[in-house]
C-alpha cells in the first residue's frame, strides 16, 4: 500500500518556455526551482495479533502528530499570523474527532495494522470531501491527505523533509501545497510557489498571500515539466511561470518586482489614514463582501465599513432556504466584526448569473431581463420578509442598512419599503429590538433606475451604483460575452452619463451616493467620480489602500477639469486613451 509524502527530487526535464496557471498571490518571484515530489510511503498491510499494543502505537502516533502540528502552527503564527496557524490547528481537531479516530480504532480492533486503518479511513473522508465539488469542502480533502501522510510517516518512522532548509532564492514546485508544508516555509528564502492544484480561495493561496510570497496555482504537470535547479520567473498576478528566461526577461521582471514591492511599501503609508482628496474632501471607503467572515478581511484591509454584502452566499450550496435565525446570526456576526462601522446588506439578488437550484426558477428565454432579484423577492413575500426581519434584528447590533438590487420602478422601492414596515411591526409586536431609523437604499444598476434617479432619490435613503450591471443594461451587452466585450465598458459615454446623472440626482436630494461596482476601484474612474460628487467607494478588500492613494492624488478642481474634458468626448476609445495618458 502506498500514499504520497513530500520529498525533494532532482529529475532531468526538457526545456519549455511558459507555463500558465492561476495567479493566486500577487508579486514577482525570480529564483531556482526546488521540486517537492511525492515519495511513496510504502508498507505491507498485516493482521495484528496484539490489538492493545497496536492501539497504543496508533495513539502515540496521533499524540506525536499533534505535537508536531502545534510546533508547525507556532512557526506559521510567527511568519503569517493567527488565522493561518488556525488552518493547521484544524488538523488536530480533525484527527481528534471521535468519529474519525473511532473508525480508525475500530479497524485496528478488527486486527488491521495502524497504517492500513489510517489509510482506509482517511481515503473514505478524502473521497467524500472531493466528491462535493465545493471549493471549501474540497480543501478538507487536502487537510485529510496532509494528516494521513503525517501519521503514516510517523508510524513508518520516516523523517519528513524540511522545506525550512531550502536555500535563498528558492521557487517551491509541488503537486499540492499542504498546510504542513507551508508551515516549514522560511519567507526570506522562498521567493515563489508553483503548484499543480488549488484555486484563488484554497488554503495554499490564502497562506501564500499571508506570507506575501508570489504564487501560481493549478499549473498542469508543473512537477514533471520543471526541473530542480532551473531558473524560473513566477508572476503571481498574471499566473505566468516563465522558464529559461533570457537576461532581458530577468531584468524586465526584476524591475517589475522592485516596482511591486515599492508600491506595496508605499501603500502601507495609507493604512489607518482617512480617505481624502488632495483638496481635502473626505470620502467613505468601504469593502464588498460575500460572507460574514469576509468582514474580517474588510477590517484587515483597512476598509471603513461594508458597502455591499452580497447575501446570495447564504442561500447557495444548500438544499433549502436559510431560516430567519440563520440569516440573523450571519448578519449579526458581520456587524459585530465591523464594530459599529456601516454594513450595507443587499437583499437577495438571485437570477441572471446567480442561480439557486432549489428555488426552482423556471428556465427563461432571457434570464437577465427576467424574474430575478427584487422582482422575485416581491413575489415571494414570506421568504423576503424573513430576510428583512433577520436584517432588522441584526440592526440592533450595529450600523446596518438595507439595499434593494435591480430596482427599475418606484413601485418596487415602495413595495420593498412597505415590507420593511410590516417586518418592523411584527418585531415590535414581539418586543424584538431593531434600529427604528434603519436606512433603506437602492442599488442603481439598471438603465431605468438611472433615468428615474430623480424620482427614486425622493424616496430612497441612499444610492449605490452597481456599474457591473449598469454597464451591461445600459449597453445591452452581457458582461460574460466576449463577442460584445468591446461594448461592455464603464467608460462608454452612455454609462458615464448614467453614472453622472445618478450621482447628481442623489446629491440634489441630499442623499449619499456610493459605487459598489468594479469601476469604483479603477484609477481612471476616480477623478470622474470625485468630480460628479460620489460620497462612498466600495471595493474589494485588496483594492482599499490603492483606491485611497488614488483619491488622494486629485484636487476637486483638477478632477473637474478631467471630467469636463471626458464628458465632451464622443467615443469610449477617445475617453480611455485620454484617461490612460493622465493617470
Q: Which residues of the chain form contacts with Mg ion (CB under 5 A)?
A: 445, 466, 469
**Residue 379 in 3-state DSSP?**
helix
- Nearer to ligand PEP by Cβ, of 506 and 517: the residue is 517
Q: Choose which of 517, 531, 543, 549 interacts with ligand PEP (CB under 6 A).
A: 517
Q: Choose which of 466, 490, 514, 527 interacts with ligand PEP (CB under 6 A).
A: 466
Q: Which residue in 113, 122, 377, 516 is the catalytic one?
A: 516
Q: Does 444 bind ligand PEP (CB under 6 A)?
A: no
- Nearer to Mg ion by Cβ, of 368 and 578: the residue is 368
Q: Choose which of 240, 304, 435, 445 interacts with ligand PEP (CB under 6 A).
A: 445
Longest dimension (CA), the chain: 88
- Nearer to ligand PEP by Cβ, of 340 and 480: the residue is 480
- Nearer to ligand PEP by Cβ, of 153 and 495: the residue is 495
Min. distance of Cβ 469 from ligand PEP in angstroms? 3
**What are the distances in angstroms from CA 333 to CA 39, 324, 326, 556?**
43, 14, 11, 38
* Cβ 523 vs Cβ 576: under 8 Å: no
The C-alpha cell of 415 is what? Answer: 413595495
Min. distance of Cβ 363 from Mg ion in angstroms? 21
The full DSSP string for 413-456 is HHHHHHHHHHHHHHHHHTT----TT--EEEEE-SHHHHHTHHHH
Q: How far apart are CA 267 and CA 24, in angstroms?
A: 20
Residues 287-316 touching ligand PEP, rule: CB under 6 A, are 308, 310
Q: Give catalytic status of residue 203 as yes or no.
A: yes
Q: Mark residue 105 as left, alpha or beta (left: phi above 0; alpha: psi -120 to 50; beta: remaining).
A: alpha
Residue 82, H or E segment: helix 82-96
Q: Where does this chain touch ligand PEP (CB under 6 A) — which range of 319-327, 358-366, 426-434, 461-469?
A: 461-469
- Nearer to ligand PEP by Cβ, of 236 and 405: the residue is 405
Q: Where does this chain touch ligand PEP (CB under 6 A) — which range of 40-48, 273-281, 294-302, 463-471?
A: 463-471
Per partner kind, with CB cut-offs from 5 to 8 A, the member of ligand PEP, Mg ion, none near residue 467 is ligand PEP
Residues 359-418 touching ligand PEP, rule: CB under 6 A, are none
* Cβ 33 vs Cβ 229: under 8 Å: yes
Exposure string over 221-231, b if 16+ CB within 10 A, otherwise e: ebbebbbbebe
Min. distance of Cβ 489 from ligand PEP in angstroms? 14
**Residue 92 in 3-state DSSP?**
helix
Q: How far apart are CA 82 and CA 206, in angstroms?
A: 12
The full DSSP string for 113-165 is -HHHHHHHHHHHHHHHHHTT--HHHHHHHHHHHHHHHHHHHHHHTPPPP-GGG
Q: Give catalytic status of residue 91 as yes or no.
A: no
Q: Where does this chain touch ligand PEP (CB under 6 A) — which range of 17-25, 82-90, 191-199, 462-470?
A: 462-470
Query: Across-strand partners of 462?
Result: 512
Per partner kind, with CB cut-offs from 5 to 8 A, the member of Mg ion, ligand PEP, none near residue 516 is ligand PEP
Q: Which residue in 91, 113, 122, 203 is the catalytic one?
A: 203
- Nearer to Mg ion by Cβ, of 473 and 554: the residue is 473
Total residues binding ligand PEP (CB under 6 A): 10
- Nearer to Mg ion by Cβ, of 341 and 349: the residue is 349
Residues forming the active site: 203, 516
* Chain residues in the site for ligand PEP (CB under 6 A): 308, 310, 349, 445, 466-469, 516-517
Amino acid at each position: 500500500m502506498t500514499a504520497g509524502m513530500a520529498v525533494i527530487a532532482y529529475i532531468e526535464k526538457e526545456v519549455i518556455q511558459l507555463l500558465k496557471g492561476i495567479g493566486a498571490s500577487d508579486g514577482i518571484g525570480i529564483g531556482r526551482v526546488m521540486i517537492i515530489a511525492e515519495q511513496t510511503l510504502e508498507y505491507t498491510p498485516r493482521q495484528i495479533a496484539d490489538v492493545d499494543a497496536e492501539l497504543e502505537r496508533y495513539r502515540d502516533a496521533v499524540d506525536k502528530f499533534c505535537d508536531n502540528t502545534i510546533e508547525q502552527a507556532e512557526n506559521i503564527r510567527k511568519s503569517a499570523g493567527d488565522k493561518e496557524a488556525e488552518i493547521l490547528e484544524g488538523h488536530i481537531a480533525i484527527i481528534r474527532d471521535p468519529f474519525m479516530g473511532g473508525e480508525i480504532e475500530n479497524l485496528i480492533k478488527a486486527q488491521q495494522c495502524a497504517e492500513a486503518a489510517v489509510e482506509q479511513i482517511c481515503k473514505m473522508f478524502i473521497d467524500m470531501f472531493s466528491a462535493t465539488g465545493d471549493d471549501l469542502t474540497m480543501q478538507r480533502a487536502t487537510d485529510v491527505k496532509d494528516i494521513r501522510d503525517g501519521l503514516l510517516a510517523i508510524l513508518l518512522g520516516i523523517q519528513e523533509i524540511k522545506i525550512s532548509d531550502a536555500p535563498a532564492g528558492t521557487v517551491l514546485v509541488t503537486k499540492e501545497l499542504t498546510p504542513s508544508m507551508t508551515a516549514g516555509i522560511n519567507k526570506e528564502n522562498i521567493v515563489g510557489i508553483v503548484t499543480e492544484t488549488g484555486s484563488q480561495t484554497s488554503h495554499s493561496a490564502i497562506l501564500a498571500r499571508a506570507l506575501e510570497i508570489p504564487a501560481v496555482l493549478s499549473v498542469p504537470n508543473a512537477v514533471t515539466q520543471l526541473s530542480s535547479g532551473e531558473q524560473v520567473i513566477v508572476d503571481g498576478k498574471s499566473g505566468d511561470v516563465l522558464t529559461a528566461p533570457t537576461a532581458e526577461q530577468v531584468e524586465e521582471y526584476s524591475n517589475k518586482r522592485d516596482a511591486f514591492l515599492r508600491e506595496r511599501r508605499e501603500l502601507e503609508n495609507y493604512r489607518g489614514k482617512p480617505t481624502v482628496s488632495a483638496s481635502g474632501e473626505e470620502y467613505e471607503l468601504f469593502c464588498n463582501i460575500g460572507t460574514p467572515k469576509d468582514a474580517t478581511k474588510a477590517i484587515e484591509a483597512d476598509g471603513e465599513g461594508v458597502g455591499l454584502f452580497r447575501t446570495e452566499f447564504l442561500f447557495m450550496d444548500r438544499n433549502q432556504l436559510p431560516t430567519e435565525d440563520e440569516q440573523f446570526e450571519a448578519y449579526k456576526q458581520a456587524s459585530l466584526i465591523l464594530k459599529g462601522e456601516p454594513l450595507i446588506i443587499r437583499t437577495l439578488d438571485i437570477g441572471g448569473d446567480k442561480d439557486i437550484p432549489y428555488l426552482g426558477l423556471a428556465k427563461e428565454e432571457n434570464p437577465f431581463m427576467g424574474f430575478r432579484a427584487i422582482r422575485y423577492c416581491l413575489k415571494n413575500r414570506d421568504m423576503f420578509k424573513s430576510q428583512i426581519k433577520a436584517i432588522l434584528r441584526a440592526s440592533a447590533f450595529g450600523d446596518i442598512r438595507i439595499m434593494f438590487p435591480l430596482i427599475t420602478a418606484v413601485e418596487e422601492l415602495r413595495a420593498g419599503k412597505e415590507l420593511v414596515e410590516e417586518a418592523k411591526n411584527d418585531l415590535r409586536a414581539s418586543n424584538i429590538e431593531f434600529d427604528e431609523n434603519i436606512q433603506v437604499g437602492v442599488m442603481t444598476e439598471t438603465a431605468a433606475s438611472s433615468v428615474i434617479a430623480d424620482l427614486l432619490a425622493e424616496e430612497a435613503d441612499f444610492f449605490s451604483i452597481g456599474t457591473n450591471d449598469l454597464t451591461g443594461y445600459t449597453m445591452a451587452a452581457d458582461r460574460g460575452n466576449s463577442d460584445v466585450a468591446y461594448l461592455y465598458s464603464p467608460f462608454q459615454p452612455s454609462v458615464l452619463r448614467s453614472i453622472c446623472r445618478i450621482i447628481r440626482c442623489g446629491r440634489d436630494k441630499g442623499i449619499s451616493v456610493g459605487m459598489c461596482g468594479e469601476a469604483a476601484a479603477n484609477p481612471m474612474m476616480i477623478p470622474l467620480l470625485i468630480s460628479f460628487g460620489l460620497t462612498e467607494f466600495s471595493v474589494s478588500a485588496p483594492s482599499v489602500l490603492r483606491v485611497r492613494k488614488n483619491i488622494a492624488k486629485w484636487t476637486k478642481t483638477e478632477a473637474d477639469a478631467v471630467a469636463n474634458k471626458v464628458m465632451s468626448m464622443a467615443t469610449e476609445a477617445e475617453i480611455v486613451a485620454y484617461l490612460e495618458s493622465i493617470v
